[in-house]
Amino acid sequence: MSGNSITIFDTTLRDGEQSPGCSMTTDEKLEVAKALVELGVDVIEAGFPIASPGDFEAVKRIAQEFGSRTMICGLARCRKDDIDRAAEALKHAEKARMHVFLATSKIHMEHKLKMTPAEIVSVAVEMVKRAVDLIPNVEFSPEDAARTEVNFLCEVVEKAIDAGATTINIPDTVGYATPQQYYNVIRHLKTHVPNIEKAVISTHCHNDLGLAVANSLAGVEAGARQIECTINGLGERAGNAALEEIVMALRTRADHYKVDTKINTPKLFAMSRMVSRITGMMVQRNKAIVGQNAFAHEAGIHQHGILQERSTYEIMRPEDVGYVGVNLVLGKHSGRHALRDRVKHLGFEVSDAVFEQIYNGLMTLADKKKEIYDSDIVALIENLTGETRDEWELIKFHTLAGTDVLPTATLEMKRGGSSDVIRDAATGDGPVDAVFCAMERICGVSGRLAEYNVRSVSSGKDAQGEVSVALEVDGHTYHGRGLSTDIVAASAQAYLKAINRAIADQKK
């Protein structure tokens, strides 16, 4: 690998998916993997095959479908069963990597593993060798490396390279490092491990102190040439380093970092929206690079500057990250041709059948609101794609609400395949609650509403509202989204999607 090329290792499907409430179905993982391949990531960590049959299946299918184009990686602890299972899942990928890890910090060795440093070295060596025998491309992670005594870290790293590891990842597992300290650890490895040039050093930073991206970039300055990251910074607790921030920092400040990546940056915004839709994890409006406000200039003085010369207040061009603003684009009379162009311009490739659905959706929307924005089209497309077959269908609903009335909802629903219409009604704290209660009664699912968010897709009183919910059923969390100019209707759609996912999961 050339000295100024950075390998982007995406772990959205593994470390990202470990984030509470962010689990994905195998089909959803395949959808994300496809988008990651098109985004141009170098390595996809597709899962932890021993963790569950679902994880195994996802890694296997991603390896089969995408393993000839992009390197597919599976995670394993330094245990025989883990390694064998990961190798089995990866065996159909032309480009496969096994990622094995073992903790090396004093705290983890003493309290979690109850192993001595000598035992750690010996197990790491034995297991890296076993992994290399099965999958030649092996990455080794000394877990909690950022809190590991540095001379011991050098010893483990040297032995892992001797055993055949070609990538050495330095995890800041608990997000404790500071940029200078993380830089020093990697510099120390570069200068004290005799065989270090035989391996690529990788960063893997968690965001507990909000330093994951800064630490990863410090790692690059110290000589790391692989960065592990996730879309939207998804990950356990405060998350992992955000891919979009890292890539755009390296690109925008190429004068400083003097490295590049192969990421197709105009796809970043759509990628972020996809992961947010699938996981139900909203992206904060002011999030760097992919937040709705990331390119919005409010202050008059800024707007004036931008009109004169963009670079006065803009360090990146919105189009370089595929940013979708609230540009006014279409109206009721725009026609199919204009919509086709717009859909393409927004970076979506859709089949004729899906296009017809988008067109019909847009015409219905145009009856309700005068102006259609790019963000309305994106929301419509996202609402149509990637859905699994639903058990229950909402035919119609009616709500009663206001001051001095008991909020009530009446629903008519149908179960997949059957033509029987089931009607029921419920009361609630408000019309949304009443709809949810009636829906639970009809579908026979009872859960806890863990999250409810509503946001306006564009601007104006007639804007579409996008509702996202997280529903907890039997200890599992299911997400759903809905879209409508009527937020009670959007709430009903979102709740129904979450219920249908819960039912599909229970059936499995």
Site for Zn ion in 10-39 (CB under 5 A): 15
Q: Nearer to ligand KIV by C-beta: 17 or 374?
A: 17
Q: Nearer to ligand KIV by C-beta: 28 or 143?
A: 143
Shortest distance, position 383 Cβ to Zn ion, whole Å:
32
Is 141 an interacting residue with respect to ligand KIV (CB under 6 A)? yes
Site for ligand KIV in 352-371 (CB under 6 A): none
H-state helical runs in 170-299:
179-192, 212-222, 243-252, 254-257, 268-279
Shortest distance, position 92 Cβ to ligand KIV, whole Å:
23
130 binds, among ligand KIV, Zn ion, none (CB under 5 to 8 A by kind): none
| Selection from 95, 29, 34, 93 nearest residue 64 by Cα | 93
Is 101 an interacting residue with respect to ligand KIV (CB under 6 A)? yes
Shortest distance, position 139 Cβ to ligand KIV, whole Å:
9
141 binds, among Zn ion, ligand KIV, none (CB under 5 to 8 A by kind): ligand KIV
For the beta carbon of residue 104, count every other beta carbon within 10 angstroms. 26
Shortest distance, position 10 Cβ to Zn ion, whole Å:
13
Shortest distance, position 47 Cβ to Zn ion, whole Å:
13
230 binds, among ligand KIV, Zn ion, none (CB under 5 to 8 A by kind): none
SS3 label, residue 225: coil
Tell me the one-letter amino acid at 13. L
| Selection from 459, 453, 296 nearest residue 376 by Cα | 459
Residue 355 tokens read as: 């296009």
Query: From CA 204, how far away is CA 215, in angstroms rounded?
Result: 9
Pairing of β 408-415 and β 226-229: unpaired
Pairing of β 372-373 and β 96-103: unpaired
For the beta carbon of residue 50, count every other beta carbon within 10 angstroms. 20
The values of phi and psi at residue 484, to 5°, are -170, 160
Is 104 an interacting residue with respect to ligand KIV (CB under 6 A)? no
Shortest distance, position 194 Cβ to ligand KIV, whole Å:
24
For 462, the enclosing helix (H) or strand (E) is none
Q: Nearer to ligand KIV by C-beta: 141 or 226?
A: 141
CA distances from 99 to 9, 136, 296 (A): 11, 11, 40
143 binds, among Zn ion, ligand KIV, none (CB under 5 to 8 A by kind): ligand KIV
Is 108 an interacting residue with respect to ligand KIV (CB under 6 A)? no
Contacts with Zn ion by CB under 5 A lie at 15
Contacts with ligand KIV by CB under 6 A lie at 15, 101, 141, 143, 169, 171, 173, 204, 206
